[in-house]
Amino acid sequence: MRRMLLALALALSIITGIPVARAGGGPLGIDHRLGYDNGGIWNRSYQKDLGYCEALCTLTAASLIGGRTRFGRTLWQSVDAMAFSSLASLALKNTFGRERPSYSA
């Protein structure tokens, strides 16, 4: 009896919750489209600067702390991962990229 009531409650909550959980009209209205914004913190140059700063800070901290501690090994693994991923993405972009129409004319 208890299992049947639990299954009924679950089915009822799913059925009544589906209209509320729609993508555009969620329960709080937070899932809506925004216009393009390239000002303030959303500026692309700020995003790139943040990435460069993060890489520089990780490399500096790894150099200062060294690889003898657990945190130091983690930092060096982060440096290795950043170096590998940047080289791999560059190689894959050059291998599988196509020429843009604006460059071919």
Q: Is the pLDDT of residue 91 over 90?
A: yes
Query: Is the dihedral angle over the CA atoms 63, 53, 79, 97 positive or is it negative?
Result: negative
- Which residues, 6+ apart, have CB-to-CB distance to 31 below 8 Å? 23, 24, 25
Per-residue model confidence as pLDDT tens digits over 26-44: 556 666 677 888 888 889 9
Q: Is the pLDDT of residue 93 over 90?
A: yes
**pLDDT > 90: percent of the chain:** 50
Three-state SS at 5 = helix
Would you say 78 and 61 are in contact if contact means Cβ atoms under 8 Å apart?
no
